[in-house]
Each structure stands twice: as structure tokens, then as C-alpha cells.
């Protein structure tokens, strides 16, 4: 029986042919056998190759796409990671067409995508951190504000920011969070809850005519931190107007000016910015702060919409403190996912 088993293992391929590597080589040789000697493998798939090259250029030069027409540049940057889904489709097309030209061309967008987003595929989270912060757009039409407040508080954040607070729901949130947070302030439609004392609390003018941003000094055990809470205006994609984001862009510039004028060296920004870190229209903010998700997160950390997250528009950004970990929290009654991060206030970045 032992001799029979040995014969079955090595039959048809010589010594070691039963190994996974040998089997893979045989399968590959069998697949490529139909390509050999066919001069058309270089002529076929030219259109696929052209699409692959254009895709690589769009991703590599996304900052050069103009915003003059329908904010096309910002729209592309908002969903930039999803362009990577075209790469396997192009690869399948190249294999079906048996096109060597297309196969080689597909390598270009793959390299560009990995250069842009490959770092997000690894888990960069670490333990520790002396302050946990979280932010959540709770949705003005949330059917269960009390339940949402309890779910977010259960994460244990030391500092919690909430956006899109409807006036009639504010007492509900205040009541539900009272046992977990001794200090809080609500300014317009944004609020900040903290386990540590708050000082120098005031609204921040982001050029809207009503209050959707605030600032407070949080007296943590490791020292004071300026915490900003902001909810940028919504953006829309319209057939006749493209990506309408002018009001969001103006507010982002105003918020960036406020943060640049901040005298406290340690700053944390929490909120719904209605834009991703790739969107050049948020440059007034992103140029002077670090995204915790990009620095120490695991994956893309998409936060909206909660039912099928496609973009990271809810942000935690820091300046003068060291991010340690960043993650999304479980879904609540909102159309956004809460996001959280741990930072070291005692260590400067």
C-alpha cells in the first residue's frame, strides 16, 4: 500500500510534481499554451490597454483634474480608492482577450493604486494612548437619539463630539450622556461632552450664518488640549451642476484659518467634514493636521453611509499630539458610523 501511495503522488510529473508549486506551474503552462506562437497577443486588447493607462493617469494626477467644471476634481478625489475596483476588471478582460499588451498595461494602475493606498491595507494600530476621543454625526432625523447616545458612550471615549444636533433632541442627548460625562457644551448644532473640565468654550464662525462649529480647551491629566468640533456643509452630486461643494469649501477655509490662529500647541479636530483627506478643497485644514485614520488606522475606515460605507467623511485630526490608534464604532440609528481614536497628549508629534 505504501508503494502504491508513492506512485500516485509522483505519477505524471516526475519527482516532486505533486507539490503545490509544481501543480501551479503545470496549470500556468497549460493556460499559456494557447498564447504561444500567436502574434496577435500583442495586437489584441489595445483598447483595454488604453483604458488601463488612462486609469493610472487619473489616479496619479488626480490633483491636476480641474474643479472649474462641476468640481470634477473633488468628486474624483472623494471616491478615489474605489477606482481600484476597475483594475481586476481590466485584468479579467486582458486574460479573456489573451492580450499581452493589456496585461502589461494593467500593471500601471495597480502600481499607482498601491502607492496611494497600499499603506491603508496594513494594520497600524498600537496599544496605549492617554486620551480616547470619538465623533459622531447623529443625524437630525435619528429615530432613537437616546439609544444612539448610550451606544456611543459605551465605547468609553474621554471626549465625545456630536454633530447635527436638532434643538428638540439636545435635552435627550444631555440626559443620556449625563452619567458618563460631567462636562459638556452645545453650540448651535454641534456639541462636546468631556470627562475633564472645559474652558474657553465658544462657537467658531465658518461663514454659514448659523453655528456648526465650536472650540473648547479640555483640561486632560496630561495637559490642556484645544478641541474643535465642526460639521461642514453638505455636498451634492447633481446632473446639471456636478459636485456642488462651494459652501463646504468656504467653510473649510474658515475652519483652517481658525485652527491656524490657535495658540494652544495641542489641537484635536473632531467632526463631519463632508470630505475625504484626498479632497484638495479641504487643504486649508488637512495641510496643517494629521488624520488619525491615515496615520494609525486599520483599513480605509469608511464612515458614510452607515448601511454601506463608501467614504471617510467623518474625521479625527490632530496637531501637536501623537495618534496611537483609530477605528470605526458599530452602527447606531444614524446614517453615519461613529469614529474613534486614541492619542498620546503627553507625547508631541
pLDDT tens track for 112-129: 999 999 999 888 888 889
Residue-wise pLDDT tens digits, 208-248 = 999 999 999 999 999 999 999 999 998 876 545 456 688 99
Cβ pair 238, 41 in contact under 8 A: no
For the chain, the domains span 34-121, 131-344
**C-alpha distance from residue 214 to each of 37, 102, 256 (Å):** 69, 52, 13
Smallest CA-to-CA distance from 189 within 216, 167, 206 is with 167
Least confident of 70-79, 156-165, 229-238: 229-238
- Residue range 67-86: mean pLDDT, rounded: 91
d(CA 219, CA 229): 16
Residue-wise DSSP of 54-94: HHHHHHHTGGGS-STTTTHHHHHHHTGGGGGGHHHHHHHHH
SS3 10: helix
Confidence of residue 316 (pLDDT cuts 50, 70, 90): very high
pLDDT of residue 237: 65
| pLDDT band, residue 26 (cuts 50/70/90) | low
Apex 100 CA angle, 94 and 102, nearest 5: 45
**Other Cβ atoms closer than 10 A to 165:** 25
Q: Which residues pair with 343 in a beta bridge?
A: 131, 323
pLDDT (0 to 100) of residue 340: 98
Cis-peptide into 305, omega within 30 deg: yes
pLDDT digits (tens, 9 = 90+) for 47-61: 999 999 999 999 999
pLDDT for position 66: 92
DSSP 234: P
DSSP 8-state class, residue 123 = B
Spatial distance between the Cα atoms of 132 and 135, rounded to a whole number of angstroms? 11
Query: Cα–Cα distance between 116 and 174 in angstroms, integer?
Result: 41
Kind of pairing, strands 223-231 and 267-272?
parallel
Instruction: Determine the topology of domain 131-344 in CATH.
Output: Deoxyribonuclease I; Chain A (3.60.10)
Q: CA-CA distance, 349 to 347, in Å (whole number)?
A: 7
**Burial class of residue 104, CB neighbours in 10 A (0-12, 13-18, 19+):** middle
Q: What is the pLDDT of residue 238?
A: 56
Residues above pLDDT 90, as percent of the chain: 75
Residues whose CB is less than 8 angstroms from the CB of residue 107 and which lie 6 or more positions away in sequence, other chains included: none
Q: Is the pLDDT of residue 320 over 90?
A: yes
Tell me if residue 52 falls in helix, strand or coil. Answer: helix
Would the pLDDT of 15 be above 50? no
pLDDT of 147 over the 90 cut: yes
Q: In this predicted structure, what is the pLDDT of residue 18?
A: 55
Region 97-120 average pLDDT: 94
pLDDT at residue 4, as a whole number: 46
Alpha helices in the chain (DSSP H): 2-10, 20-32, 46-60, 72-78, 86-97, 100-117, 145-153, 170-177, 246-260, 283-286, 292-296
Cα angle: 315, vertex 319, 321; to 5 degrees: 105
Q: What is the pLDDT of residues 191-213, one digit of tens each?
A: 999 999 999 999 999 999 999 99
**Cα–Cα dist 281/77, whole Å:** 10
Burial (CB count <10 Å: 0-12, 13-18, 19+), residue 63: exposed
Residue 92 pLDDT class (50, 70, 90 cuts) = very high
Beta bridge partners of residue 318, listed in sequence order: 268, 290
Lowest mean pLDDT of 13-17, 136-140, 145-149, name the range: 13-17
52 close to 106: Cβ distance less than 8 angstroms: yes
Amino acid at each position: 500500500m505504501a508503494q502504491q501511495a508513492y506512485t500516485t503522488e509522483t505519477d505524471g510529473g516526475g519527482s516532486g510534481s505533486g507539490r503545490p508549486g509544481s501543480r501551479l506551474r503545470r496549470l500556468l503552462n497549460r493556460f499559456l499554451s494557447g498564447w504561444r506562437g500567436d502574434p496577435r497577443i500583442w495586437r489584441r486588447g489595445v483598447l483595454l490597454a488604453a483604458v488601463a493607462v488612462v486609469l493610472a493617469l487619473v489616479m496619479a494626477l488626480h490633483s491636476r483634474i480641474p474643479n472649474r467644471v462641476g468640481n470634477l476634481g473633488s468628486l474624483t478625489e472623494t471616491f478615489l480608492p474605489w477606482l481600484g475596483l476597475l483594475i481586476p476588471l481590466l485584468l479579467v478582460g486582458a486574460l479573456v482577450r489573451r492580450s499581452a499588451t493589456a496585461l502589461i498595461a494593467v500593471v500601471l494602475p495597480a502600481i499607482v493604486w498601491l502607492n496611494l493606498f497600499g499603506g491603508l491595507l496594513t494594520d497600524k494600530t498600537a496599544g496605549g494612548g492617554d486620551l480616547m476621543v470619538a465623533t459622531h454625526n447623529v443625524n437630525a432625523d435619528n429615530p432613537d437619539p437616546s439609544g444612539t447616545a448610550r451606544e456611543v458612550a459605551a465605547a468609553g471615549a474621554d471626549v465625545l463630539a456630536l454633530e447635527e444636533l436638532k434643538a428638540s433632541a439636545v435635552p435627550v442627548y444631555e440626559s443620556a450622556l449625563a452619567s458618563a460625562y460631567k462636562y459638556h457644551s452645545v453650540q448651535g448644532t454641534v456639541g462636546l461632552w468631556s470627562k475633564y473640565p472645559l474652558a474657553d468654550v465658544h462657537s467658531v464662525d465658518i461663514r454659514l450664518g448659523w453655528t456648526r462649529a465650536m472650540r473648547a480647551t479640555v483640561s486632560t491629566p496630561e495637559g490642556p488640549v484645544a478641541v474643535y468640533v465642526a460639521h461642514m456643509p453638505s455636498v451634492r452630486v447633481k446632473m446639471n451642476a456636478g459636485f456642488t461643494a462651494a459652501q463646504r469649501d468656504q467653510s473649510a477655509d474658515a475652519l483652517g484659518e481658525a485652527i491656524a490662529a490657535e495658540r494652544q500647541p495641542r489641537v484635536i479636530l473632531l467632526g463631519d467634514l463632508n470630505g475625504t483627506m484626498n479632497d484638495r478643497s479641504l487643504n486649508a485644514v488637512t495641510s496643517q493636521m494629521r488624520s488619525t485614520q491615515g496615520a494609525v488606522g486599520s483599513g480605509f475606515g469608511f464612515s458614510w453611509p452607515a448601511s454601506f460605507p463608501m467614504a471617510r467623511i467623518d474625521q479625527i485630526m490632530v496637531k501637536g499630539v501623537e495618534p496611537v490608534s483609530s477605528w470605526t464604532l458599530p452602527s447606531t440609528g444614524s446614517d453615519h458610523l461613529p469614529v474613534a481614536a486614541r492619542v498620546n497628549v503627553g507625547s508631541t508629534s
